[in-house]
Structure 1
Amino acid sequence: MPKLDDLDLKNPCKIINIGQLDDVSAEDFLLSNGGVQNLRNYEQIASYNWLGTPIEPQLVIPGAPKTLSDWRALRGRRLQRDSTGLIVDENHLMNGQFPMEALFRCVKLQMKDEADVYVSENPLTENFRFQNFDVVTDRNNLRKLFDFVKQNFSKLNKMTDGNPEPNGTKISLPFRNVVSVSFRSVPPKWQQQRSRSIRINVQVLGNLVCLIRCEEADIESGRNSITYGKDFEIQVTKSVNDFSSGSFRQIVAYSLGGLNFLVRFEVDAADYAESRPVAVRKVDKKGTSDDDEEQQALDVLLGKMSLKTEKPMKIPSSRLSVLRSGEKYDYHLVEVTSRRSNADFPKHVWPQMYFSGTESLIIGWQFYGKIGKIERLSIKIDAMQVRTSQKDVEEEYGGYPIKHMAQFHSLLTQIVEFARQKCIHPKKLLAVVWKREFESNLHIYEVENPEGFAVPESLGDYIAEN
């Protein structure tokens, strides 16, 4: 097993400087996105819950997110401080050899040719094809690339191609061994302070560009900050059945500026009273409280959410097994976070909600773990701003200008086009790297002796042809 710091990269074959992105106009982006800022053709495609262990990983398909508890009653409650050992990337933890396999399997098993065997309810339409998409990624990668744009948008250097490393030297970055099924719970001492470097691996399957998440470790250790977010999330949410105790992943499809995305992300909770299909929306609301409405919605959904298979079904040529659940639903997604009471509003939440189509935010303001105010806010997707009747609060919370989104779209387009030109063979990997000491530059490297591909070879061949 190679060491974490032995993953060498070849000399950069492309450098993207923020200056080139600064020339992109908001008008051009709007024109490419049908004149609007919001995500277009948004659809919740598939979902799953993780069960089992990294030795015997299991997927429950479709999955079920946690529901909301009586969060209004939490004011004044004392939270437990976050401990070390928080999971950073569960998809890699559970299936480190092929970290995007669960995403593709989940979607593939709901395509019409396999749905009768694995997931018979609400299969995807016959015209659904992986090759109709430009990018498949975890939301985390989009957030990182958006951070690069918004933190550097004012820099006016020009984009260049070339090799900034003197004498053709190679670089080594402190990222985990992405091919190992095992995981490291305690990084070496030099990793105790989190690296400020960002890396995203890139693989091309047919026309589809896969952005593969890279982290230092699957389990975070050496935390220095005093945070209470995990316990707040536990207090605000509750499981709706046995398998929803495992973390829930939603997979959505949408288009943005002419690029078609397939995006996976973790969901904190769902508002079942606001979830679809029609059977839920037809619940009689007359004379019912919000809690009654939520419970009625749960009663409808839970009747169709029980497991349909008692034993996991093994997926051929895979380490993964599948447990069948019931119908697929469109959920009203909820983000849950906490913040120190004297801190600024967490504006970083908005890109996270935007890139996933998450509609609501529950934020708890705490002081050394004691909860003060708790509020629920809705995101105005097309402006990345809070929807609120208080104008002064809206101005305080703000959003991000469309200029950022235009630059982000330009950056993604350049990465996609370059990857398609460079990665003609599916066994080739690129690495997109942002080293914070070179803040205005994003480097694209060729990966030497590539390993840690998105999916097994046989599944990759299927994706490239369908």
Structure 2
Amino acid sequence: MAPGTTVTVSRQSLQSDLDPTPAITEVKNLASYSWIEARTPTIAVPGIPPQWVPSKIPRQLPKDSGYVYVAQNAARHPESPLEPLFRALYKTNPEFSISSIDVVSDRNNIRKLFSFVDPSSCTYGLESFTIEVEATKNTVILSRAEVVTREFIGPNDFRGYGHEFEKSHTTCKIKDSTGHHRISSYRFSNLNFIIRYEVDAYVEGSSGKASGSRELDPDVLSSALDSLSVSSSSNVGKATRIPGSRMAIRSEGQVVPPDSILEIKTRAARKPLFLNDVAVQLWVSQTPKLVRAHHRAGRFEEPEVEDVRSRIRSWECENQRALGKLAALIRKIISTVKGFDSRKGVIKYDSIRDTLKITEVNRAPFLPMDLYSKWNDQK
């Protein structure tokens, strides 16, 4: 295609009949990491999410204030927000075959693409968004593009109580941890995905083999547990700089089972949160547990942990047409970007004109050069 080529995609052009029953299957946990507060961008692998410590009595909480992250990976490592994903992946499984993957993305990007194909899924209306994209060999990588990666909530601002609720109902297991991310793979509509997503907390005591749960890959889990279990106190804090990168990694944390992962949502009691409000987010990451914490002017009653796996599977069955269109849109993005001479593009949705465009760009690579060699090393 000619430089600067733009391809416009309409909802009407997306045909969902290529896969009559689009569904997520073959879910595997690949890796995880926690961001560490440090001068150098530092992650702990495998890290560990904060532990859920529910309150048995009502609590009055202050409103959120101070700095909060919108996109922590980009805020902490703006040169390459996707680099931590690959560093954690290859530290956990050095022989991982990246050439078998069709799409690598943050959960947030897939949610945005789904919002385009099904605007009714947006509680507060479909908003404009931008996603950067790059093709490497047969893999297409989607990168979040946020104007603001963290924001300051001033004393006169109101953004709810979500961050204060999480701080009061969870406890960090790693000193100076500021956020935990999990990396999973699965098949969707005959495409192989790697998805990165932030985890709010985990529930202690989950077995990882609950009824109806999708199992971790035993080889990956065994390797992770053998080499990346909780670090001894003598090793904690010893981070290793990565040659050719600004990042550093330290071995610390513990792999937690997939059925222990928890998403936390807060909402005013007068505007209760319905499962459909968060179904897309939970579906993309296959998150099994949800807390819907309702409050009255910041006063929270005892929260309940819900197992939502069966309801998310029901949602998947009820939304086959929209999911088919999502798959068609992703295939369109893949074919379009692979056709660009630069193999780099930007996806922009304009909410005013209700148009989605994929435009070729010339841009610096997403990743450090040593990570691209992982595609070259594999047949």
Scaled by the length of structure 1, the TM-score of the pair is 0.69
Within the candidate set 46, 52, 73, 1:68 is matched to 52
Give yes or no for contact 1:432–1:443 (8 Å, CA) kept in 2.
Answer: yes
**1:322 corresponds to which letter in structure 2?**
I
Partner residue in 2 for 1:414: 332
**1:14 corresponds to which letter in structure 2?**
V
1:268 Cα deviation from its structure 2 partner: 0.3
Indicate the SS of the match to 2:303.
strand
Counterparts in 2 of 1:74 and 1:208: CA distance versus 1, 3 Å:
farther
Determine whether 1:242 maps to 2:175: yes
What are the ranges of 5 or more consecutive residues in structure 1 without an aligned counterpart? Answer: 1-9, 113-125, 154-194, 279-299, 387-397
1:220-265 Cα offsets, whole Å, 9 max, x none, are 247865411111111221123436x331110001011101100111
Between the aligned partners of 2:73 and 2:99, the Cα distance in structure 1 is: 23
1:258-277 superposed matches below 5 A: 258-276=190-208
Determine whether 1:209 maps to 2:177: no
Partner residue in 1 for 2:363: 450
1:304 Cα deviation from its structure 2 partner: 4.1
What stretches of structure 1 move > 6 A for 4+ residues in a row?
Answer: none
Indicate the SS of the match to 1:338.
strand
Determine whether 1:29 maps to 2:29: no
Counterparts in 2 of 1:12 and 1:378: CA distance versus 1, 3 Å:
farther
1:301-350 Cα offsets, whole Å, 9 max, x none, are 9x941247342112111111111126644332100110111114243311
Partner residue in 1 for 2:100: 132
Between the aligned partners of 1:222 and 1:436, the Cα distance in structure 2 is: 26
Between the aligned partners of 2:372 and 2:310, the Cα distance in structure 1 is: 33
Between the aligned partners of 2:131 and 2:328, the Cα distance in structure 1 is: 17
Determine whether 1:333 maps to 2:261: yes
Within the candidate set 39, 43, 48, 2:33 is matched to 48
Structure of greater Rg = 1
**1:24 corresponds to which letter in structure 2?**
S
Scaled by the length of structure 2, the TM-score of the pair is 0.84
Between the aligned partners of 1:445 and 1:382, the Cα distance in structure 2 is: 37
Give yes or no for contact 2:273–2:292 (8 Å, CA) kept in 1.
Answer: no
Partner residue in 2 for 1:432: 347
Between the aligned partners of 1:226 and 1:275, the Cα distance in structure 2 is: 35
Between the aligned partners of 1:44 and 1:446, the Cα distance in structure 2 is: 33
Indicate the SS of the match to 1:358.
coil
Partner residue in 2 for 1:165: none
Between the aligned partners of 1:222 and 1:329, the Cα distance in structure 2 is: 32
Indicate the SS of the match to 2:262.
strand
1:94 Cα deviation from its structure 2 partner: 1.3
Number of equivalences: 351
Give yes or no for contact 1:277–1:329 (8 Å, CA) kept in 2.
Answer: no
Determine whether 1:313 maps to 2:240: yes
Give yes or no for contact 1:233–1:337 (8 Å, CA) kept in 2.
Answer: no
Determine whether 1:351 maps to 2:280: yes
CA RMSD of aligned residues (A): 2.9
Between the aligned partners of 2:192 and 2:336, the Cα distance in structure 1 is: 17
**1:361 corresponds to which letter in structure 2?**
L
Between the aligned partners of 2:324 and 2:73, the Cα distance in structure 1 is: 30
What are the ranges of 5 or more consecutive residues in structure 2 without an aligned counterpart? Answer: 211-224
